[in-house]
Amino acid sequence: MPATVKNAPKRATAQSMAKKQREISISEFFTKNRHLLGFDSPAKALLTTIKEAVDNSLDACEEAGILPDILIEIIPVEVKKNGNGDKTLTLEPEDEKPKKKGAVAPGKEEQYRVVVQDNGPGIVREQIPKIFGKLLYGSKFHSLKQSRGQQGIGISAAGMYGQLTTGKPVVIYSRTQDQDIGHRFELMLDMKKNEPVIKKDEEVNWEPVHGTRVEIELTGSYKRGQHSVDTYLEQTAVANPHIRLTYRNPRGDEMIYSRAAAELPIQAKEIKPHPYGVELGILMRMLKDTKQRNISGFLRKEFCKVGPKACATVVETAGFTPKKSTRHMEQVDVKNLMDAINSTKIPNPPTDCLAPIGEELVLAGLKQRFEADFYTSVSRPPSVYRGNPFQIEVGLAYGGDIPADKLAQVLRFANRVPLLYQASACAVHKSVLSNNWRSYGMQQSRGALPTGPLIIFVHMSSVWVPFTSESKEAVAHYPEIIKEIKLALQEAGRHLQRYIRRRVREKDALKKQSYIQKYIPHIGIALQEILALEESEKEEIIATLTDTLERSRKL
Amino acid sequence: MPATVKNAPKRATAQSMAKKQREISISEFFTKNRHLLGFDSPAKALLTTIKEAVDNSLDACEEAGILPDILIEIIPVEVKKNGNGDKTLTLEPEDEKPKKKGAVAPGKEEQYRVVVQDNGPGIVREQIPKIFGKLLYGSKFHSLKQSRGQQGIGISAAGMYGQLTTGKPVVIYSRTQDQDIGHRFELMLDMKKNEPVIKKDEEVNWEPVHGTRVEIELTGSYKRGQHSVDTYLEQTAVANPHIRLTYRNPRGDEMIYSRAAAELPIQAKEIKPHPYGVELGILMRMLKDTKQRNISGFLRKEFCKVGPKACATVVETAGFTPKKSTRHMEQVDVKNLMDAINSTKIPNPPTDCLAPIGEELVLAGLKQRFEADFYTSVSRPPSVYRGNPFQIEVGLAYGGDIPADKLAQVLRFANRVPLLYQASACAVHKSVLSNNWRSYGMQQSRGALPTGPLIIFVHMSSVWVPFTSESKEAVAHYPEIIKEIKLALQEAGRHLQRYIRRRVREKDALKKQSYIQKYIPHIGIALQEILALEESEKEEIIATLTDTLERSRKL
């Protein structure tokens, strides 16, 4: 059967193919697959860079208990060309003020220097090169706790993109509370090795008492509209009322988003994994890595919510003794242990690892942004997917100034970060689409969003948001997550339904009332003529009839 | 300003945060982010595993000039439980026949052994562990050439998923043409180091003269329907008429897809990158890595389509001498070089790196699968995004047995691989949605697919398909790609428009004709009575009138 084609051109063999097989570095991988990180167009690259830097700043401030005060600047960089064959690169001096309003055509591909500066705790000097010059390095990946960043890729990828498009290093200033002086680094990323290359490392006088400033020069495109930096910062302010943002766009306009809440959100706590989410392979690895010598210690210390009773039940169900060593367990033993865990009742994971926005603040956010006739919000109780606690919040705004002839607008947030791209790939979108909005009195075409004056706000908070790609633009379609979003939408939808029905009823009532007011007098006149009534008798009959009809209408 | 909150609980400092910052291994990253690789549900995991193995087999066969003959088996593995506290794991013996039809409830989460065996060239023994036991290892990433696989992640990720869910190693048999004997490996993946762990490495008597067989045991779910293994294999056969597939599902049913074409597709050639796609950072790295000593050699050898004239123009425009050394070029020099490249006319990249299906075979594929009244297909000329050649093909099937009251069905293919998931995230979906189908005479609601008896087939072939995630389910929204898909849809749409218009015209004509046939005889009788005509005169008048009206109708 193995039919080799005759007269084929020189084809490969197992040996010739083996010569081409080699390792791919993670930086090479992401350079080629930059759309995975959100750098597939100049406009998106600009947004992603700012988003990654701001997310990191907010995370660091909150973790250190500091009310965030962030400066964001997008400074146009002019690349001058002096005639043919004699091109030189002239950069704007670092301290020159940005151009006056309207100097840069929006939407054009340009070179920008992006600056994000925070009042956070600063970064210890030794860590700066790896954090900004190495992909897959960070503190959040291994911790189960709600935070904006989670992969250890974002900011170093932004620097890599800047390097790719302009050849310029990333510049970092940082100062920690205990230092009298700041540090300034210029960093490149070695793409074959995925390691930082330090171009400059110097001490500088830097005014802030503590904080971090990152400057990335990149090819980008500054646009307004739905997917813009402006929209991202605006929505970030809505979902984070405790922050203060100062934003200077490339035209030199300055916008300030002031603090609407003087307190930090409750700090999310780090948790251990829940035993229900663990898989055989992970369990095998955990047993190999643990410092606990016996199985009881392992279950109690490496997981959350395993109390003495649950621990004893698991151990007994698996057919072990409590002191069984964690070393040298066979695949069959581990399988028994996993089955025992899954057949034992263990409480749900703690939810203090989550910091939801809260129904009140969701309402407040919507009211601040949209002039509507009706608002509602729903916070679901925390739930669990693959051992990870998460919580869904939904808000609706209806009527008022919201356009009535367009599709409803969906605002998506994950851990307080607005998601602007890839709406249709998102679990939120899918849940909204598959909800039956007609039953609430909305219009909806098959396979489309509902049509009408409606804003749908959905927030997922979790210790681990499963994004569909590293660029963190859409939530993956986990059934548990979709179910929770749907339940929240349905609850909020029922509030909306009551409002729409009441409005329809009121309209009907008004119509009936107007009929009564219109026809009763004529009936009065007709009765007067037929029965030859006095004027006063007629008035009396009219009053009685109106009263009776009104009462029956109200029933 | 740096406002530290009073009475805050113990918060982190730069120092405490630094202690938690560490490196993340690529395998840990993908274990946690498994949905990026297509393992977010048991049903999808089963499909992804088979898809990755089959894609690799087809690539290897074609590269070696062998007509592919692939065996795919999904064998249920029973995990027996013998009462409480005494659970043992009993596996089906390796050679036992799969259960008879209906033995396994479809849709239930089960354990399966997936087997994919090909008649390809085999794999050199030393390479087997890395190919199946290390993420980001392979031959296709660094080569610009149309192939199904491209990342060096897929099959090792499938093995890793199997290991995570069942703790079992991947089993590989392979034999190359020059060997008298086969090799058998059992491999695990060390997830902290991203390196293969060889559990067994033995020589075995293995019947095939050459080929590879991979066996992965995993937790999965076998389902029918749109996203199923069955659909994937069926569509794979449509887009690859030169392959032969034998497929045994978990129920033990055997399906054979025979070869419809006896010849391999034209072999796609590997190309060098095109200079237009290159970015500053990449150019800097290429200059650092090149073996060419002077700039002219560099331009001629490292890129495609740079002839002597274009090379001279670029060198002159950049203000260099042709012998300028490639060593120690400053960022400014490289920037000049890039500007010179972009201002010089260089022909488009060669297109023999692409192997499109062809208009005829697209039509044939559609005709084989769908009973329709009308078929059309369009192959666009090759185009380029970010220096990567690509080509779009579109086919439409309309009417016939296709349901008229549902949304149109979109079949998406990339490099001949069917894409079953994440339709709404795909550039194809976006292009179809934003096309105006009403102008062709179809129904379409705002924001929805067209409604009607329509199948839309879209194939993208490219040396590098930019997928939205590593699971290769949707094409990223590059403007150049969306533009080409739209142009192809519009061209095919115009064919459809002509057909629908003609049908509408024919219907109208038929209606008019039926009017003529209905009323002319009555007019004849009336005239006969009024003018007292003979029977023959009446017949003559009827004939003349019919003739005149028919002629005027046809104009």
Q: Report the 3 state secondary structure along B358-385.
A: CHHHHHHHHHHHCCCCEEEEEECCCEEE
Q: What is the mean pLDDT of residues B400-426?
A: 91
What does the pLDDT read at residue A215? 97
Query: Which amino acid is it at B33?
Result: N
Which residue, B421, B506, B489, is CA-closest to B455? B489
User: Would you say B320 and B295 are in contact if contact means Cβ atoms under 8 Å apart?
Assistant: yes
- Test B429 with A424 for CB contact under 8 angstroms: yes
Which residue, B516, B188, B506, is CA-closest to B373? B506
* Residues in A touching B4 (Cβ below 8 Å): 65-67
User: C-alpha dihedral over A359, A363, A365, A366, to 10 degrees?
Assistant: 140
CA–CA min distance B282, chain A (Å): 6
User: Which B-chain residues 127-186 have CB contacts (< 8 A) with chain A?
Assistant: 127, 130-131, 134, 136-139, 141-143, 151-152, 160, 163-168, 176-177
User: Would you say A204 and A184 are in contact if contact means Cβ atoms under 8 Å apart?
Assistant: yes
Query: Which of A7, A17, A334, A443 would you mutate first to test chain B, the one with the most B CBs within 10 A?
Result: A17
- Test B167 with A334 for CB contact under 8 angstroms: yes
Tell me, what DSSP letter sits at residue A7?
T
Distance of CA A546 to the CA centre of its chain: 57
Q: Which residue has the higher pLDDT, A67 or B3?
A: A67
Residue A211's alpha-carbon distances to A66, A188, B545, in angstroms, are 10, 22, 95
Q: Report the 3 state secondary structure along B26-50.
A: HHHHHHHCHHHHCCCCHHHHHHHHH
- Test A143 with B88 for CB contact under 8 angstroms: no
Query: Which amino acid is it at B537?
Result: E
If pLDDT is split at 50, 70 and 90, which confidence band does B101 have? Answer: very low
Which residue, B264, B235, B236, B245, is CA-closest to B118? B245
pLDDT of B204 strictly over 90: yes
* Residues in A touching B279 (Cβ below 8 Å): 164-165
Rounded to 10°, the helix B479-531/B535-554 angle is 160
CA atoms of B21 and B18, how far apart (whole Å): 5
What does the pLDDT read at residue A536? 85
What does the pLDDT read at residue B281? 85
User: Would you say A135 and A194 are in contact if contact means Cβ atoms under 8 Å apart?
Assistant: yes
Q: Is A299 helix (H, G, I), strand (E, B) or coil?
A: helix
Q: Are strands B182-190 and B170-175 parallel, antiparallel or unpaired?
A: antiparallel
Interface check for A256 against chain B (CB to CB < 8 A): the answer is no
CA atoms of A240 and A182, how far apart (whole Å): 29
In order, the DSSP letters of A311-360 are HHHHHHHTT--TT-BSTT--HHHHHHHHHHHHTS--PPPPSTT-----HH
Q: Is B461 helix (H, G, I), strand (E, B) or coil?
A: strand
> For residue B187, what are the β-bridge partners?
B170, B198
Q: What is the mean pLDDT of residues B483-501?
A: 95
**Side-chain half-sphere of B95: how many Cα atoms within 13 Å?**
0
CA-based radius of gyration for chain A: 31
Which residue, B113, B473, B72, is CA-closest to B237? B72
ipTM of the complex: 0.72
What does the pLDDT read at residue A50? 96
If pLDDT is split at 50, 70 and 90, which confidence band does B268 have? Answer: confident
pLDDT of B520 strictly over 80: no
Residue B299's alpha-carbon distances to A165, B169, B282, B293, in angstroms, are 19, 47, 14, 11
Residue B70's alpha-carbon distances to B182, B239, B418, in angstroms, are 18, 15, 17
> For residue B190, what are the β-bridge partners?
B195
Tell me, what DSSP letter sits at residue A477?
-
Which residue, B473, B549, B458, is CA-closest to B512? B549
Which residues does B339 contact at the CB level (< 8 Å), separation at least 6?
A: A81, A87, B317, B318
* Residues in B touching A60 (Cβ below 8 Å): 17
- Return the structure tokens found at B505: 């015209």
Q: Is B131 helix (H, G, I), strand (E, B) or coil?
A: helix
Residue B221's alpha-carbon distances to A341, B94, B216, in angstroms, are 22, 20, 14
Enclosing H/E stretch for B542 = helix B535-554
Q: Report the 3 state secondary structure along B226-266.
A: CCCHHHHHHHHHHHCCCCEEEEECCCCCEEEECCCCCCCCC
User: Which B-chain residues 96-125 have CB contacts (< 8 A) with chain A?
Assistant: 119, 121-124
Q: How many other β-carbons are positioned within 10 Å of the β-carbon of residue B164?
A: 23
Query: Which of A25, A84, A124 would you mutate first to test chain B, the one with the most B CBs within 10 A?
Result: A124
CA–CA min distance A187, chain B (Å): 14
* Residues in A touching B64 (Cβ below 8 Å): 11-14, 17
What does the pLDDT read at residue B422? 84
- Of B17-31, B287-301, B473-487, the poorest mean pLDDT is in B17-31
CA–CA min distance B102, chain A (Å): 27
Q: What is the mean pLDDT of residues B171-192?
A: 92
Enclosing H/E stretch for A496 = helix A479-531
Q: How many residues does chain A have?
A: 555
* Residues in B touching A267 (Cβ below 8 Å): 9, 11
Which residue, B436, B424, B426, B433, is CA-closest to B460? B426
Tokens 């307004």 found at: A224
**Side-chain half-sphere of B235: how many Cα atoms within 13 Å?**
24
Q: What angle do CA B160, B162, B165 make, to 5 degrees?
A: 110
Domains along the sequence of chain A with CATH: 27-82+90-257 (3.30.565.10), 275-342 (1.10.8.50), 351-555 (3.30.230.10)
Q: How many other β-carbons are positioned within 10 Å of the β-carbon of residue B116?
A: 25
Which residues does A471 contact at the CB level (< 8 Å), separation at least 6?
A: A35, A36, A37, A38, A39, A48, A421
* Residues in B touching A138 (Cβ below 8 Å): 21-22, 24
Query: Which of B10, B16, B19, B20 would you mutate first to test chain A, the one with the most A CBs within 10 A?
Result: B20
CA atoms of A262 and A67, how far apart (whole Å): 8
* Residues in A touching B285 (Cβ below 8 Å): 191-192
**Side-chain half-sphere of B289: how many Cα atoms within 13 Å?**
11
User: Would you say B495 and B387 are in contact if contact means Cβ atoms under 8 Å apart?
Assistant: no
- Test B176 with A334 for CB contact under 8 angstroms: no
What does the pLDDT read at residue A298? 95
pLDDT truncated to tens, each residue of chain A (555 aa)? 344 444 445 677 888 877 877 788 888 888 887 888 888 788 899 999 999 999 999 999 998 999 999 999 999 998 754 333 333 333 333 333 333 333 333 334 689 999 999 999 999 999 999 999 988 888 777 777 778 877 778 899 999 999 989 989 999 999 998 888 999 999 999 988 889 999 999 999 999 999 999 999 999 999 888 889 999 998 888 888 889 999 999 999 999 988 877 788 888 888 888 888 788 888 888 898 899 999 999 999 999 889 999 999 999 999 999 999 998 888 889 989 999 998 999 888 888 888 888 898 888 888 877 899 999 999 999 888 877 889 999 999 999 999 998 999 999 999 999 998 888 889 999 999 999 999 999 999 888 899 999 999 999 999 889 888 777 889 988 888 999 999 999 999 999 999 999 988 888 888 877 777 777 777 778 777 777 778 888 888 788 877 777 777 666
Closest chain A residue to B211, measured at CA: A2
pLDDT of B263 strictly over 70: yes
- Of A302-306, B138-142, B365-369, the poorest mean pLDDT is in B138-142
Q: Is B53 helix (H, G, I), strand (E, B) or coil?
A: helix
CA atoms of A226 and A221, how far apart (whole Å): 14
Which residues does B531 contact at the CB level (< 8 Å), separation at least 6?
A: none
Q: What is the mean pLDDT of residues B59-76?
A: 94
CB-nearest to B137 from A23, A134, A331 is A23
* Residues in A touching B41 (Cβ below 8 Å): 478-479
What does the pLDDT read at residue B109? 61
User: Would you say A226 and A410 are in contact if contact means Cβ atoms under 8 Å apart?
Assistant: no
What does the pLDDT read at residue B542? 80
Q: How many residues does chain B have?
A: 555
Rounded to 10°, the helix A229-239/A42-63 angle is 20
* Residues in A touching B28 (Cβ below 8 Å): 141
User: Would you say B377 and B362 are in contact if contact means Cβ atoms under 8 Å apart?
Assistant: yes
What does the pLDDT read at residue A87? 32
What does the pLDDT read at residue B80? 52
Phi-psi sector, A209: left (phi>0), alpha (psi -120 to 50), beta: alpha
User: Would you say A417 and A468 are in contact if contact means Cβ atoms under 8 Å apart?
Assistant: no
* Residues in A touching B280 (Cβ below 8 Å): 164-167
Largest pairwise CA distance in chain B:
116
- Return the structure tokens found at B163: 């290991």
User: Would you say A243 and A253 are in contact if contact means Cβ atoms under 8 Å apart?
Assistant: no
- Test B279 with A17 for CB contact under 8 angstroms: no
CA–CA min distance B395, chain A (Å): 23
Q: Report the 3 state secondary structure along A40-102.
A: CCHHHHHHHHHHHHHHHHHHHHHHCCECCEEEEEEEEECCCCCCCCCCCCCCCCCCCCCCCCC
